[in-house]
Chains A and B, each alone.
Chain A
Amino acid sequence: MNRDAPVVLGIETSCDETGVGIVRGTELLANVISSSMDEHARYGGVVPEVAARAHLEAIGPVITAAVAEAGLSLDDIDAVAVTSGPGLAGALMVGVGAAKALALSLGVPFYAVNHLVGHVGADVLAAEGQPLSYPTVALLVSGGHTSLLLVRDIVDDVELLGETIDDAAGEAFDKVARILGLPYPGGPQIDRVAADGDPRAIRFPRGLSLPKDMAAHRYDFSFSGLKTAVARWVEKRRDAGEPVPVADVAASFREAVADVLLTKALNACADTGVPRLLLGGGVVANARIRDLAHERAAAAGVELRIPPFSLCTDNGAMIAALGAQLIRAGRAPSDLGVPADSTLPVTEVQAGRA
């Protein structure tokens, strides 16, 4: 294997997306995703058992499709990487079981990696021109996570600055969409109706943003209170028999989320003296969050990086990319007995290190 540019197949099954990606070093060769999102729609959120069953059905076909997309055969694979956490336990286990067996069948090394750090790893595939410089602050926002990281070195120095203490931002979008009678998933729906709304119409609360929160929760997030505030506001209107200005509610809610995410992320950049911010996770698809990120980062003199959407949502390519970085750094493979760890800490970039 060429250690500088190994061909790595990455498997991602931590939530509702079965992703298999293939990279050669920092070059993206394939990124195939099968989502069970539609199966969760009528439940209003991801159902772990439904997701895990869908992973098992999809894993074989998605591996086959990725290899075909890369124009390779499985014999060309130098190593197999897999998300071993954090995520939904039963869902993770499908990927872990498949990855261990695939590595053994091909006689190649096996790397168990951290899902959240994988989101940071996606950047190396997207980088046009100069590679990502370290250290960087990373804001990862999805249906399952809302985390602020300080990445000094992607393979062995990642610090968790803060994370949500209740709902993930993506969950808040789903719940507010439901309050407004919009379908699941809520993010794109809120984005759509908010386009015609006034983001200053209603001042919804910014969680953990009061001076008293700064000591213990400067970089933590809370979206549960925001969701309840929206519900109260809407119920009051409905109870009074008044129409609910859906566009204004959606725009004001979205503004509150975007504001708190970027205020805290740019505070982290300022406090740590790191003029770089990387965004990742499916919620980054949100138009307002992207716009506000560009605006605020430019004003603060912070370099902003947002990988393309196909690499922001959960995918196997970012896992493969992180695996390739570990190989390039000379890391030994993970222990074959490594468990799926639903709460794998972000400081553990590679699980099961010998």
Chain B
Amino acid sequence: MLLAIDTSIGSSAAVVSPSGEVRSSLGVTDTMRHAEVIGELIRDALAAAGIGADGVTAVVAGMGPGPFTGLRIGIAAATAFALGRGVPLLRLVSHDAIAAEWALSGGEGQLTVSTDARRRELYWSRYLVEGGQARRVDGPGLVVPAELELHGEHVAATAVDAGRLGAIAAAGLRDGVEFPALSALYLRSPDVTPSAGPKRVTT
């Protein structure tokens, strides 16, 4: 069984079977409480799927893009859980789950996914969806809303379903694809400027 975790927007945890069946998927939309809810979500997702921690054969982490503080919590949790069980950590772009969801609901053709990056900016990714399969063709990137280029349909998502992320990973495992060694997708440098030296205190 795959345990999937994503905190790129809200918090979500899910258990997905190797065949891609979503056995449980739980989410909290609050974007300010990732550290509080992450433990209970994992515990409850496992319980709802009727498995223990030892039933997990791989952990899937949504690597963003997402606002820094929350994003890190899910990745840290996924990293630690995978270590604890001695199972692989599979890293995916969180937007891929949004595109897969759209494909699953019958969407076809070009798709632009956007999510809130805070500070009046958006994260975006572009997909081509054919035969129910979404393939990322550009992104993820970061833009101000006025500069977001829309190709085909546009989904401005407010949640990422870890169940969908787990299903993508399950399909990838079945197809033998290589999972990328992604780092957290912040897409921004830390806000900081090097020190200009000490300021005078006397005038």
Contacts and interface: CB of A to CB of B under 8 A. Distances in A.
A and B bind: yes
Interface in B35-55: 35-40, 42-43, 46, 52-54
A110 B84 CA distance: 14
B39 A336 contact: yes
A63 B81 CA distance: 11
A101 B194 contact: no
B105 to A, nearest CB: 31
Given A96-B35, A100-B77, A74 B84 contact: yes
Interface stretch (A145-153, A227-235, A242-250, A301-309): A227-235
Interface in A95-117: 95-107, 110
Interface residues of B, number: 47
Contacts of B37: 337
Contact of B76 (A44, A101, A104): A101
Contacts of B191: 49
A102 B52 contact: no
Interface in A25-74: 42-45, 47, 49-50, 52-53, 55-57, 59-60, 63-64, 74
Interface in B74-113: 74-86
Contact of B195 (A43, A99, A235, A337): A43
A102 B81 contact: yes
A352 B198 CA distance: 42
B184 A97 contact: no
A90 interface: yes
Contacts of A89: 69
Interface residues of A, number: 50
Nearest to A336: B39
Query: Max chain B CB contacts within 10 Å: which of A63, A99, A104, A340?
Result: A104
Nearest to B86: A74
B192 A50 contact: yes
B119 interface: no
Contacts of A332: none
A200 interface: no
Contact of B190 (A49, A95, A97, A103): A49
A178 B42 CA distance: 46
B146 interface: no
A94 interface: yes
A275 interface: no
A93 interface: yes
Contact of B192 (A47, A74, A99, A100): A47
Contact of B34 (A63, A93, A232): A93
A92 B35 CA distance: 9
B61 to A, nearest CB: 11
A228 B200 CA distance: 9
A107 B53 contact: yes
Contacts of B69: 52, 89-90, 93
Contacts of B183: 57
A239 B201 CA distance: 12
Interface of A: 42-45, 47, 49-50, 52-53, 55-57, 59-60, 63-64, 74, 89-90, 92-107, 110, 175, 178-179, 228, 231-232, 235-236, 239, 336-340
9 closest A-B pairs by CB: A105-B84, A100-B39, A101-B77, A97-B73, A44-B195, A49-B190, A336-B39, A98-B80, A102-B80
Given A42-B194, A98-B76, A178-B197, 17 more contacts: A45-B195, A53-B186, A59-B76, A60-B83, A89-B69, A94-B76, A97-B38, A101-B5, A101-B38, A101-B42, A104-B42, A104-B43, A105-B53, A105-B83, A235-B200, A239-B202, A336-B43
